[in-house]
Amino acid sequence: MPLNLDAYLGVHADALKIRGQRTEVLARNLANADTPGYQARDIDFRAALAQAGGAAGADAPVAMRATNVNHISTAETSDTTTANLKYRVPLAPALDGNTVDVQMEQANFAENSVRFQATLTFLNARFRNLMTAITGQ
């Protein structure tokens, strides 16, 4: 009986990929905390996961497309999260136009890291169960 690995892993494989991309976005925000005019960004995780899972509802975001080879690429991450990459609304923007709140970014980064690790642990357990079933040990 064949095994559909995507069905076995569920949404966790997509969640792990999106959490990794969110880590990059949050790290980029922290790296540019002192850059004048830098606009903090974040990924809408729920919408990105729904899009990765194939759920395209009426409120699904529309990804930008280049219609000419001379257009500048807008893709900072994969197609799954490009449409879900949003600008963060600042609580107190700096006078130089920078919208990065270092403490909020660090808190989001820590929370995302914990969730990434939890998803990785769950996937590890699923693969361990699969190996146990294959080897019979």
pLDDT in tens, 51-69: 887 654 445 444 556 666 7
Quick check: 25 and 42 in contact, CB under 8 A?
A: yes
Quick check: 19 and 110 in contact, CB under 8 A?
A: no
Distances (CA, A) of 82 to 26, 42, 56, 86: 14, 11, 15, 9
Helical packing angle, 45-52 and 12-31, nearest 10°: 140
More confident residue, 65 or 136: 136
Q: What percent of the chain has pLDDT over 70?
A: 77
User: pLDDT tens digit string along 8-46?
Assistant: 777 888 899 999 999 999 999 999 999 999 999 999 888
Rama region for 51: left / alpha / beta (φ>0; ψ in -120 to 50; rest): alpha
